[in-house]
Amino acid sequence: MSVQEQIHETVTTNPIVLFMKGTSQFPQCGFSAKVVQILKQSGVKSLVTVNVLADEDIRNGIKEYANWPTIPQLYVNGEFIGGCDIVSEMFATGELEKVLEPVIKAA
């Protein structure tokens, strides 16, 4: 399986996936930490995270996958939602709740 296929499988077989630096317990970047915190506050309990620092191929591959050059990256039901700025903005406007609610309920 290529890296792109591997990423595709990860984001399509898990409802909420965050590609981040570090882990949700020990984020290694302020932007990643912020998104984890927002997701927790939004009621997400089953968050799958991928630590890009642990795998150089994933770290490079994920930038290509969404045509997005920075980490973190949030995916919901296989769809790329955004990075830290977008997730923060959507959290503030209530849009994030609308995206996450059906997924949280279905879990």
The residue ranges that bind another protein (CB under 8 A) are: 31, 67-70, 80-86, 89-90
* 49 contacts: CB under 8 Å, gap ≥ 6: 17, 18, 19, 20, 23, 24, 36
How far apart are CB 85 and another protein at their closest, in Å?
5
Cβ pair 36, 27 in contact under 8 A:
yes
Tokens 């990643």, residue located: 32
> In angstroms, what is the minimal distance from the CB of 10 to another protein?
19
Minimum distance of another protein from residue 45's CB (angstroms) = 26
Which of 30, 105 has the CB closer to another protein?
30
Task: Say if residues 91 and 38 touch (Cβ distance below 8 Å).
Answer: yes
d(CA 25, CA 50): 12
Give 11 or 90: the residue with its C-beta nearer to another protein. 90
Please identify, using beta-carbon distances, which residue of 35 and 46 lies nearer to another protein. 35
